[in-house]
Structures are given as structure tokens and as C-alpha cells.
Structure 1
Amino acid sequence: MIEVLLVEDDPSIAIVIDAALGAEGARVTHVHTLAERDRMLRERRFNALVTDVMLPDGDGIETIGAVRAVCPDMPIVILSAQNTLDTAVRATDTGAFEYFPKPFDIDELARTVRKAAGNLATGETLENDPLVTEGLPLVGRSQAMQSVFRMITRVLRNDLTVLVLGESGTGKELVAEAIHQLGNRRDGPFIAVNTAAIPAELIESELFGHEKGAFTGAVARHIGKFEQAAGGTLFLDEIGDMPMQAQTRLLRALQSGTIRRVGGQEEVRLDVRIIAATNKDLEPEIAAGRFREDLYYRLNVVPIDMPPLRERSDDIEVLARHFLQLAAREGLPRRQLTASAAQLLSQQAWPGNVRELKNFIYRLVLLAREDTIDADAVAPLLRRDAPPEDEGGSVAALDIETAIGRWLEREHPASGTIYASALAALERPLFASILKETAGNQLRAAQALGINRNTLRKRLSELALDPEEFTRR
């Protein structure tokens, strides 16, 4: 019979856990407070401890040290309604066997406790290593984000390669930053590379470096991103757009643990953690011959799927308030969001995901006339950002002639400036769309547009379009 000590102040949750663990052949002793927990641990031996975080007389995580002093080998499972990355990291920090955010799958909890009690010596617990948990880059309390937080905590004490998957704007680089900031390599550099933004002929030099004289223009030795990231983390963004030749070199580096600079003979030993990310489904890319299958399996050791914002609508309000705070720190006016405004934001689809929401909040902060932003202040901006609708309420399929006619009616450009104004109005969204597709790569964008790269660069400057805005998707 497995003896489990449950510390939970909510009787309804305790009853459900008791029943589930009983079905797994465990006998549960239920207490409500930390004081009762400590008394029971002194009086009896238990095979596992299941504890909530917020208890009437203290914090269940902060007092784990007292438990370890009495029962150093007893596995601990932590439950919490504070579903933040901070809480997940604090829980993992204690050496907990597992962390379950509420609401949790009761059957999974019961199986985990059974496994913990029966495997005291398997080494599955994480070593105790205090972490800096302030300023965490990820925000979210939805169920969809809890699996992300739990996966992050699983890779903090190892150097396994991570592949972050998700749509554009979901925050894939933030996952990489969180793993770096909270992991064993946090004292080393974090080097981010957008592999889609580097011209194909330069990507090997950028990643692996080159020796003096390796090619025309190589007037000195250049240290590549792999060496720059030594002792830290190398984040390879948009890995799905990496040229095939560079994929081959990357695979060799991952297999051998060494790199060779372009034009060099010396093998340089790698000391870096690799995190890659893409918004593409790589399996069709493999089938089409555009991505190496063996590289995919090398990168996809620990996959982390970032959910789109439409699947975590519960997070929209907390994200919006977070961005209000960020905007204030960056010198914009300090604003407050009413409940009605937050509800209106939560009802939107946000196809651009978290990045779109952040940009909207910053624009809202800038344009709002009052310190408190209500739904009436939000609605006009939402309508302005929305695509046009026809009389039936569906999105209208406008041809360019109709769009130009509407633009002329709305803007009324001054006589003598119509052509230049219309050209700028057309070029701005056109260039932005192509740059988005090429992840800010101006050479590829110019080739797609069929214009000279210098012409594109000149027009981007005149239109105040920064290609760097499109390099992080």
C-alpha cells in the first residue's frame, strides 16, 4: 500500500484526488495546512507528498526545504492555481517530481503520484539549483500555455536540442530566451540568428565563420555565430527556410559536435545549446525535398508547440495589461484598461497572434485621450484594423480598382501629389507583404518584386519601412 500525504485546503479537490489515488492502490492522508503537514511528516513515513502552493498558513513551495530536511528522498508533486511560468520554475526549482497547474487531469495526477512513489531512485527529479525568476519573458495562464511552461521546465537542467513550433507572432523566440535565462547556460551569451534573413551565399560564413582569404572580401578571420554563442545558447530562427547546403553543414556540426570555418582546416569543438524555431510544417517540406529529414530528427529532440492566440483567448487580458506596463516602461503614457475593454479585446481573432496584440496595445496607448481605456476607445481602432466588409457582413473581395477608388475618396490627396501619394500607398503594403514572406531579406524581396535591390532599399528608406521589423516572425 502506497502512503500519500495530501496538503490541500479545498475539500472538493481533496475528495477527487483521494478517490483517484485510491483507485491506484494508494492510501491518502489529507491535511489542510503546512503545520499539519510538518506534524504528520514527523510522526509517519509517506511514499509521496502532493501539495498545493497557496495554503492558509503559507506558501507550499517556499517551505519545501523543511520537508527535505525531514524526508530528503520523498518525491513531491506540486499543484497550483497560479499558472505562470514563474510558478512552474519555482516548483521545478525545488526538485519536485512533477508540477500540475490547475485544472489538471486527475487520472494523469494519480498515475504520476504512483510512478513517483515507485521510482524513488530513477533520477527523474531535478537537482536543486536556485534560478533568477524575475523578468520572465513569457506571459500566460491559460491551459494551452501550461504545457509550454512544463516543457520549458523539463529542459532547464540539460542541453537537449529544442525545436519550437508555432505560427508567426506566437512568441517562439521568447521561449528560447526563457530556456536560456532560466537554464544552466544563463551566464553565457544568447545569440539569435534569423536564418531566412541571411543570403544563401553568406549563411555558412555567418554561422561557422571564415578564415582570412577564404573568399573575395574575406580580409580577416571572422568568428561565426556558433563560436560567438560558446558557453551559451544559439537560437536558429526560421530554420525551415535555411538553404539545403547550409542544412548539410548544420547537420554535420550537430552530429560531430565540431565546426570548421569556411576556408579553414581546424576543427572547433562546440560548447553551445541549440534551439531552433520555425512557423512551417517541416514534414511537407521534407516530402518536397526542401528540408533534410535527418536534420529534422536532430533538431526535433524536444518539440515545444506554441499555441496561437486564438487558442488561448483567456490570456488576452493578462497579455494586454502586460503590454500596457511595457509601454509605460518604454516612455509611453501610463494607461489602465477597463474590464469592458479587456473583454472586447478577448473577443477578437488576432490572426497576427501576440505580436499583433502588442502592436495594437502600443498604438492604443499612444492614441488614447484618457488614462483609463474603455471599450469605446478600443472599438474604433478595431474597426480601423478590420478588413472591409460587404453589405452582407462578410469580408469583401476588393479588386485593386475599387480599392484605389475608395482610397481617393477617403484620403483626398492634394492636387499635384496624387500620383506620388498613390504610389506610396500601394508600395508600402506591397513591400511589407513581400518582406514578411522573405523574413526581411532584401535581396530575395527585390528578386520577387523584379526590381533592383538598391531601388528597393531606396524606396524602403523613403517609405520609412524598416526591414528589421520583418526579421523576427
Structure 2
Amino acid sequence: MTVLLVEDDVSIALVITAALEAEGFPVVHCDTIAERDKLLTERSFSALVTDVMLPDGDGIETLSNVSRGRPDMPVIILSAQNTLDTAVRATDTGAFEYFPKPFDIDELARTVRQAVGASSSLRVGGSEPEGDGLPLVGRSAAMQAVFRMITRVLRNDLTVLILGESGTGKELVAEAVHQLGHRQSGPFIAVNTAAIPAELIESELFGHEKGAFTGAVARHIGKFEQAAGGTLFLDEIGDMPMQAQTRLLRALQSGSIRRVGGRDEVRLDVRIIAATNKDLQPLIAAGLFREDLYYRLNVVPISMPPLRERPDDIEALAKHFLQLASAEGLPRRQLTPGAAGLLSQQPWRGNVRELKNFIFRLALLAREDLIDVDTVAPLLPSSPGEPPQSGSQSSNLDQAVELWLSANHPSSGSIYETALAAFERPLFAQVLQQTGGNQLRAAQALGINRNTLRKRLADLALDPESFARRT
């Protein structure tokens, strides 16, 4: 029942040793890969607990030799390199568990006890994937929880429900599960269920036969069939019409679909990932979302933290977006520590999407390659963490009108129409952004008729399709 611990940080090694010995597991400690391999040739161990970065190499890269020599020995990996890449690499080695530092020592001890008693058949092997191009960035504890949940669903087809505010990166999680999972060779089909008119959503999802309804001049293959062999991502699932919810539930229960107007059952070969920025429980209570569908979708929930709960990630995200901006043709920029610190103090109510847009704007407008506090501060909407004061919104609007009049000088007799158009354009754009381009929901939010909204959008040359959300 002896555990081999490979850890070069003496203080951490002492804490782990004490915790494991309290659980009844004697510990043999070493701090290099060479010592580890020597010990493994000399004796047997019930489990291996190893750090990743060791003085003589990468603890993960060398685990393939350990697995070949000791296939029944569970491996638990510790790492201060808290990235999705590390989590995936750890999982693909067949590790029993992965712990990002800092970790709960009691949870580690419990995991070792479970690992020792577990069957080796529970271990999953695999080749090491490429670390480049992984879609998620973050080393905070909140993102580590997300990474660990992602690694748990890569080798199965369990349905995943991604929860989180708009702009937190829900679609990036769905893409990561697809790209890193065993269905990566199949298609990834994303559907914004809030952007499809209610009368068309069943046809879009399940397809239709020729003549099924007026305008159905040919057979149409729906998103379920398009995603065969891959992943179907249902975004904004909380806005799906009730009738379509019933059809979706039936598809998930039976594993098959029937095209609109068709009789034949089409067997499904697709992984379902859904996402929503809404709390579904109140919708269930109000009769707007089926409770049985919720439990069908909520097999593996993954909660995306808002950016305000992971301020430690903001600097890394900002640098990442500066690289993306450079790749898209904008000037190559760098942040000073002071500028990064100032960004980390902002509330970022629009989450990662807002930060990305801000960084791209910085890359475009900055006069110097090195972006400092003096460059960042004027572009920020308000002082960090400072809530709007009563009356400040009215005051800001008064100032905006005054500035607009002085800057545009509209001709006499056209001031009202010109100002109204100038006000409606950003207003409609914001509401359409929030509704993912759904004109019906936008009209309801604005309190105007849908036809009126459509006419004004045409007058203002605003295309609602351009606001379809990708979270």
C-alpha cells in the first residue's frame, strides 16, 4: 500500500506525506524522474503521485514508459501549470486524477485512497494531443474547475449543459469538448435556437420532407443529421419554443428523429451540448421550459464563471487577445504591468467578449507599441468598481446630446429626425445584440411592433442577422 511521491518542492512534499500517512499509506519520496524510474524498477507501489515540472524533465511526457511497465498502478498528477493543455495531457496519459495547484490536501488523500482501490480497467489511455490552439485561456481556480469538467467528458458522449452569463465563452467550451474529444473528426454544428423563428425551428433542427409545408420544395436535412458523427451545440436553449422542446425531448429519449412531414425514423449519431445564459429553474416554474428536458440535458453541467470572479485571468486574456489582434492585421502591442493591473480592476460586465473588444480597440487606437496606463484609462467607461451615481445616466445623456448637436450641426427642420436616427441606431444594435438578432424578442423588449422595428432597421441599414450571438 506504499505510495511513490515525486515532488521537488520539499514543503509540499511534507504536507502530502503527512496527509497520506494519516490515511494509512506509507510514502516514498523522490524529486526527479531519474530517481522515480530507479525506484519503480526496484519495488512495487500502490499509486504514483507526481508533479509535472521536475528538475530533470516533464513529469507527464515520461509517464508513457511508467504506464507500459506498471499498467495497473494508478497515477495522480499535480501541476502548477494550470492550463487546459495540462489538464488534457494529464487525462490522456490515463491518469486517475489531475490536481491543479493549490489543491485541497484532504481531497488529494481521499483520491489516493479511491485510486488504490479502483480497478485498472477504469483507466483510459491515449496519445498526447497537440497543446497549440486550445480555445480557452485561464489559470484561476474557477477555470481549473471548468478544465477538469471538460477532461471528464472527452471520452464519452454524455450530454453537457453549459451555464453562464452572456460573453463568458460557453461556445468555446463546447468547441473544446468537440476538438479534444473522440468525435473531433466529425462536424461541429452550432445552432442559436434564439435566432430561429419559432415556426421554422423544428425544420431547422430535424429537417423536412418535400411538400411538408408551403415553400418546402425539396427535402431539407436538419442540424441533427448534419452533425452525424460529431457534435450538435444548441445555444440559448432556454429560449427554445415549447413545441420544439417536446420534439427535442423525444429525440433525446428515443435516439432518433423524424423529419417534419416524414414517416421514417432516422437514428442519431451525435453528441448533444446545450448552453444558456438563463436560470432555467424559474422558467420551469413558470411553465416556459420542460422540467423533463432540463434533466435530460443537465447530465454534466459546466458552469462558466463571469470574468469578475476570475480577475487573475484578465492579464493573460488581454495578452492573448493582443496576439489575436496582431494575427488579424492590427499593430503588435504589449501591455505594461500597470496597464494590466488597471484592466484587472474593471468589472467587465460584458465578460470575456467585452474584454476582447476593448483589447482590439486598444490595439487599433494606441499610438505606441507599449500600452501603458495613460493609454488605457481614457478608453475605460468609468472608474474601476465605481457604480453609477443617481442622476449620472441622465447627466451623461444630456452631455451626449449637447456634444452630438455641436459636432453634427443638423440643418434646421431636420434636427428631430436626424437625432432620432442617431439615437435609434445604437439602441437597436444593443437590444439586437442581447437577443442574438431575434427581431421578435427585440421588439418585445423595446415595446414596439415587430413590423415597426423591421421598417426602422431597414431605414437605418441595420442587418439583424449580423447580431447572431456566438458565445
Aligning the two structures, in what range does the TM-score lie when normalised by the shorter sequence?
A: over 0.9
Using the TM superposition, give the Cα deviation of residue 440 of structure 1 relative to its aligned residue in structure 2, in angstroms.
1.0
Using the TM superposition, give the Cα deviation of residue 444 of structure 1 relative to its aligned residue in structure 2, in angstroms.
3.5
Using the TM superposition, give the Cα deviation of residue 118 of structure 1 relative to its aligned residue in structure 2, in angstroms.
1.4
* 1:414 counterpart = 2:380: no
Distance 1:91 1:67 in 2: 14
* 1:96 counterpart = 2:95: yes
Indicate if the aligned counterparts of 2:347 and 2:384 stay in contact, CA closer than 8 A.
Answer: no
Amino acid corresponding to residue 397 of structure 1 in structure 2? G
* 1:48 counterpart = 2:47: yes
* 1:237 counterpart = 2:235: yes
Q: Could you say if the C-alpha distance between residues 156 and 47 of structure 1 is closer, same or farther in structure 2, counting changes exceeding 3 Å?
A: same
Distance 2:387 2:355 in 1: 24
Q: How does 1:52-71 map to 2 (within 5 A)?
A: 52-71=51-70
The unaligned stretches of length 5 or more in structure 1 are none
Q: How does 1:86-125 map to 2 (within 5 A)?
A: 86-121=85-120, 123-125=121-123
- Aligned residue in 2 for 1:224: 222
Aligned to 1:449, what secondary structure does the other structure show? coil
Aligned to 1:321, what secondary structure does the other structure show? helix
TM-score by length of 1: 0.94
Using the TM superposition, give the Cα deviation of residue 82 of structure 1 relative to its aligned residue in structure 2, in angstroms.
0.3
Distance 1:25 1:428 in 2: 68
Indicate if the aligned counterparts of 1:83 and 1:141 stay in contact, CA closer than 8 A.
Answer: yes
Distance 1:58 1:275 in 2: 37
Q: Could you say if the C-alpha distance between residues 434 and 217 of structure 1 is closer, same or farther in structure 2, counting changes exceeding 3 Å?
A: same
- Aligned residue in 2 for 1:440: 437
- Aligned residue in 1 for 2:371: 373
* 1:386 counterpart = 2:379: no
The unaligned stretches of length 5 or more in structure 2 are none
Q: How does 1:247-266 map to 2 (within 5 A)?
A: 247-266=245-264
Amino acid corresponding to residue 335 of structure 1 in structure 2? R
Aligned to 2:4, what secondary structure does the other structure show? strand
Using the TM superposition, give the Cα deviation of residue 470 of structure 1 relative to its aligned residue in structure 2, in angstroms.
4.4
Indicate the RMSD between aligned Cα atoms, in angstroms. Answer: 1.9
Distance 1:457 1:215 in 2: 29
- Aligned residue in 1 for 2:161: 163
Using the TM superposition, give the Cα deviation of residue 403 of structure 1 relative to its aligned residue in structure 2, in angstroms.
5.3
Amino acid corresponding to residue 379 of structure 2 in structure 1? L
Indicate if the aligned counterparts of 1:185 and 1:232 stay in contact, CA closer than 8 A.
Answer: yes
* 1:22 counterpart = 2:21: yes
- Aligned residue in 2 for 1:405: 398
Which sits farther off after the overlay, 53-62 or 433-442?
A: 433-442
Indicate if the aligned counterparts of 1:4 and 1:27 stay in contact, CA closer than 8 A.
Answer: yes
TM-score by length of 2: 0.95
Q: Could you say if the C-alpha distance between residues 346 and 211 of structure 1 is closer, same or farther in structure 2, counting changes exceeding 3 Å?
A: same
Using the TM superposition, give the Cα deviation of residue 119 of structure 1 relative to its aligned residue in structure 2, in angstroms.
1.3
Partner residue of 1:429 out of 426, 430, 450: 426
Indicate if the aligned counterparts of 2:87 and 2:98 stay in contact, CA closer than 8 A.
Answer: yes
Using the TM superposition, give the Cα deviation of residue 98 of structure 1 relative to its aligned residue in structure 2, in angstroms.
0.3
Partner residue of 1:305 out of 303, 306, 309: 303
Indicate if the aligned counterparts of 2:439 and 2:454 stay in contact, CA closer than 8 A.
Answer: no
Identity %: 72
Indicate if the aligned counterparts of 2:257 and 2:265 stay in contact, CA closer than 8 A.
Answer: yes
Q: How does 1:323-342 map to 2 (within 5 A)?
A: 323-342=321-340
Using the TM superposition, give the Cα deviation of residue 451 of structure 1 relative to its aligned residue in structure 2, in angstroms.
4.5
Using the TM superposition, give the Cα deviation of residue 450 of structure 1 relative to its aligned residue in structure 2, in angstroms.
1.6
Partner residue of 1:134 out of 128, 132, 135: 132
Using the TM superposition, give the Cα deviation of residue 467 of structure 1 relative to its aligned residue in structure 2, in angstroms.
4.1
Which sits farther off after the overlay, 237-246 or 448-457?
A: 448-457
**Number of aligned positions between the proteins:** 464
- Aligned residue in 1 for 2:147: 149
Indicate if the aligned counterparts of 2:195 and 2:468 stay in contact, CA closer than 8 A.
Answer: no
- Aligned residue in 2 for 1:455: 455
Deviations 1:82-138 (A, max 9, x none): 0000000000010000000000011000110111011134x3322324434320000
Amino acid corresponding to residue 458 of structure 1 in structure 2? A
Q: Could you say if the C-alpha distance between residues 305 and 348 of structure 1 is closer, same or farther in structure 2, counting changes exceeding 3 Å?
A: same
Distance 2:187 2:202 in 1: 20
Distance 2:92 2:387 in 1: 52
Distance 1:361 1:459 in 2: 32
Using the TM superposition, give the Cα deviation of residue 212 of structure 1 relative to its aligned residue in structure 2, in angstroms.
0.6
- Aligned residue in 2 for 1:279: 277
Deviations 1:153-205 (A, max 9, x none): 00000000000000110000000000000000000000000001100000000
Indicate if the aligned counterparts of 2:209 and 2:216 stay in contact, CA closer than 8 A.
Answer: yes
Q: Could you say if the C-alpha distance between residues 265 and 387 of structure 1 is closer, same or farther in structure 2, counting changes exceeding 3 Å?
A: farther
Distance 2:393 2:45 in 1: 72
Using the TM superposition, give the Cα deviation of residue 290 of structure 1 relative to its aligned residue in structure 2, in angstroms.
0.5
Distance 2:77 2:182 in 1: 22
Aligned to 1:26, what secondary structure does the other structure show? coil
- Aligned residue in 2 for 1:10: 9
Aligned to 2:26, what secondary structure does the other structure show? strand
Which sits farther off after the overlay, 436-445 or 350-359?
A: 436-445
Amino acid corresponding to residue 151 of structure 1 in structure 2? M
Using the TM superposition, give the Cα deviation of residue 72 of structure 1 relative to its aligned residue in structure 2, in angstroms.
1.4
Q: Could you say if the C-alpha distance between residues 404 and 107 of structure 1 is closer, same or farther in structure 2, counting changes exceeding 3 Å?
A: closer
Q: Could you say if the C-alpha distance between residues 289 and 440 of structure 1 is closer, same or farther in structure 2, counting changes exceeding 3 Å?
A: same
Using the TM superposition, give the Cα deviation of residue 388 of structure 1 relative to its aligned residue in structure 2, in angstroms.
13
Q: Could you say if the C-alpha distance between residues 445 and 459 of structure 1 is closer, same or farther in structure 2, counting changes exceeding 3 Å?
A: farther
Aligned to 2:78, what secondary structure does the other structure show? strand
- Aligned residue in 2 for 1:395: 389
